[in-house]
Structure 1
Amino acid sequence: MTGSSHSLQPLVSVHQHNIALLFSNYLISQNIESAVQIEDEQFVILCSPERYEQAREIFNEFIENPHDVKYQQAAWQSSETTNIVQNGPSFFSTIKQQFLAHAGVVTLSIFALCWLIYLGSILGWQMTIFNEIHFFNKLSVAHFFENPFRLIGPVFFHFSLLHIAFNTMWWWQLGGSIEKVMGKAELIQLFLLSAIVSNLGQFIVSGPNFGGLSGVVYAVVGYVWWAGWLAPEKGLVLSKAIIGLLLFWLLLGFVDVLPVKMANTAHLLGLISGCFLAWLRFANPAKHIEK
């Protein structure tokens, strides 16, 4: 950069190191002096006081779509490095901060509950926990009022480390994005709708012995997929390659060539639930543009 950070003015602070560097480099590419410093475990972007208002306008545009190609190009083309004050947070602290920053309280609560139940199951209480939260043995109004949690309970129970790692990774990534963009209420509604529909469908097909967040994961996939198609300005995007891979995995489950038994009905109904809710939200352009 071309100047001392002491002569620069704080513009904005962000939680993510890479976002701060990306934007600072872009300002430099626009001939605006910039630097990044760490303060209270946040990354403060500094800019030239004379160009503050212009930098603020550029940031407002940047934050709408930080993955735009022009910002990446500026980072690659910049021959200078953005200085960062040393003695910042540790690597672990930065990772934790980024993990928590991406997801809201709903996403993190469900993530944590899944892992707590899984830890309990591997510590010797697997059958005890499963018997407490599995789906109803028989559907009836009496059984529902006796233990309504069983309607969604199976989504929290996982049978292996790979099973829970795969499901909670996607839940954190996509559920976190939905919560940040659309709010807690929307994610809760999506979670409850997909959990109930996928559990009920799987019970009808195979009985009560199933579990896992996969139906809900396919719901958030479907929601983000259709939101990206119907309302791209929301910034909820999933690449075609990822969508294709997950749909192919769904198909493999139905043709029964996988070495593990899949809750295929739950996956399919979850996907349909997510697509349906996204369609309700975004099919009317005038409705979601106003929000």
Structure 2
Amino acid sequence: MIRLTGFADPRMAQLFVDYMAVRGIRLYIVPEERLTVVLEDESQREIVENELKQFLDEPLQPRYQAASWRRERIDSTALWRGESILTLLRQRAGPLTITLALLCCVIFVAMRLFGDLTLLAWLSWRMDGGQLSQPWRWVSHILLHFSLLHLLFNLLWWWYIGGMLEKHLGSSKLLVITLIAALLGGWLQAQYDGLFFSGLSGVVCALMGYAWLRGERDPAGDIFLPRGLMVFIALWLAVIYITIPDASAVALVICLAAGMAMAFVDTLRRRYR
């Protein structure tokens, strides 16, 4: 076993390992004082050392990120062939992530069976604005989805980012972000855009903002969202605002900002410890 180098940033270590894996060379990360990248096959040492030198000179080259995405797709395909869907969900998500996703699916099926208005009568924001007698309505609107595309889009992001947060920060942190985003987004839309709003979109935006800023301020941590993906999200929100200029678009932006604010507070505390 040949120890090649150590990385302080786990993302950089994984990026190089993924790049070499796509090229057919298997490396391992050993958690020592630093994250040490090791090679088992000594005959590949010269190739790996040359690639490592290039990587350390220009780690932000697009080919490394592209290789990482390709490696993830390969691993996911292999997992789908060898494991069940439930196993895949358990590996990448926690109990809160899975439970809320299942609730959204159950509610969506119920809306198809009993009609949208029936479920809205039970789970949407109250018509008179009085939530104290039925407190679940403050957050239950996030379970409602009127279209399959809307449901799938939100659940993919919820699983990807929410699962990451729950795995590394715990269910309580994910629950706090979810509740704050649900309350904030629901109140804004109820005030300015009527009562027929629904979905996890506001929560997903808060998670996006949290994951991105936390990764920027704590690059050695396990929570992050690539900058390129964040640019895409910003463009997506801009398109929504231009095409649907109502309170729902504003609520998404404010939830995104709320997630970033929570990440700022959390990383500020971390830096003072």
Q: Common fold, TM-score beyond 0.5?
A: yes
User: TM-score, normalised to structure 1's length?
Assistant: 0.68
Give the corresponding residue for 1:276.
Answer: 261
1:79-94 to structure 2, matched below 5 A, reads: 91=81, 93-94=83-84
Bigger Cα displacement from structure 2, 267-276 vs 90-99: 90-99
Q: How far apart, CA to CA, are the structure 2 residues paired with 1:246 and 1:69?
A: 22
1:186-265 to structure 2, matched below 5 A, reads: 186-256=173-243, 263-265=248-250
Q: Which amino acid aligns with 1:264?
A: A
Call closer, same or farther: CA 1:90–1:133 in 2, change over 3 Å: closer
Q: How far apart, CA to CA, are the structure 1 residues paired with 2:233 and 2:80?
A: 35
How far is 1:266 from its partner?
2.5
SS state at 2:229 partner: helix
Identity of aligned residues (%): 24
SS state at 1:68 partner: helix
- Which of 124, 142, 157 lines up with 1:134 in the alignment? 124
Give the corresponding residue for 1:117.
Answer: 107
Question: Is residue 78 from structure 1 mapped to residue 65 from structure 2 by the alignment?
Answer: no
8 A contact 2:11–2:220 mirrored in 1: no
Question: Is residue 172 from structure 1 mapped to residue 118 from structure 2 by the alignment?
Answer: no
**Offset from partner CA, 1:139-198 (integer Å, 9 cap, x none):** 3xxx32210011111111001000000001000100000111111110010000010001
**Offset from partner CA, 1:31-82 (integer Å, 9 cap, x none):** 5xxxxxxxxxxxxxxxxxxxxxx9xxx9xx8995486233124422539xx9
Call closer, same or farther: CA 1:92–1:126 in 2, change over 3 Å: farther
SS state at 1:144 partner: coil
How far is 1:235 from its partner?
2.0
Q: Which amino acid aligns with 2:174?
A: L
**Offset from partner CA, 1:86-117 (integer Å, 9 cap, x none):** xx998263443222211000111111111110
8 A contact 2:124–2:196 mirrored in 1: yes
Count of aligned pairs: 221
Q: How far apart, CA to CA, are the structure 1 residues paired with 2:247 and 2:88?
A: 32
Q: How far apart, CA to CA, are the structure 2 residues paired with 1:167 and 1:202?
A: 18
8 A contact 2:182–2:203 mirrored in 1: yes
Q: Which amino acid aligns with 1:147?
A: Q
Call closer, same or farther: CA 1:271–1:90 in 2, change over 3 Å: closer
8 A contact 1:214–1:266 mirrored in 2: no
Question: Is residue 266 from structure 1 mapped to residue 254 from structure 2 by the alignment?
Answer: no
How far is 1:269 from its partner?
2.1
Q: Which amino acid aligns with 1:239?
A: P
Q: How far apart, CA to CA, are the structure 1 residues paired with 2:213 and 2:256?
A: 11
User: TM-score, normalised to structure 2's length?
Assistant: 0.72
Q: How far apart, CA to CA, are the structure 2 residues paired with 1:106 and 1:181?
A: 13
Call closer, same or farther: CA 1:89–1:227 in 2, change over 3 Å: closer
**Offset from partner CA, 1:230-288 (integer Å, 9 cap, x none):** 11121212122211111111111222269xx882132122112211111110024434x
Q: Which amino acid aligns with 1:136?
A: R
Call closer, same or farther: CA 1:123–1:262 in 2, change over 3 Å: farther
Gaps of 5+ in 1: 1-29, 32-53, 83-87
Q: How far apart, CA to CA, are the structure 2 residues paired with 1:73 and 1:174?
A: 23
How far is 1:124 from its partner?
3.1
Give the corresponding residue for 2:150.
Answer: 163
Q: How far apart, CA to CA, are the structure 2 residues paired with 1:63 and 1:232?
A: 7
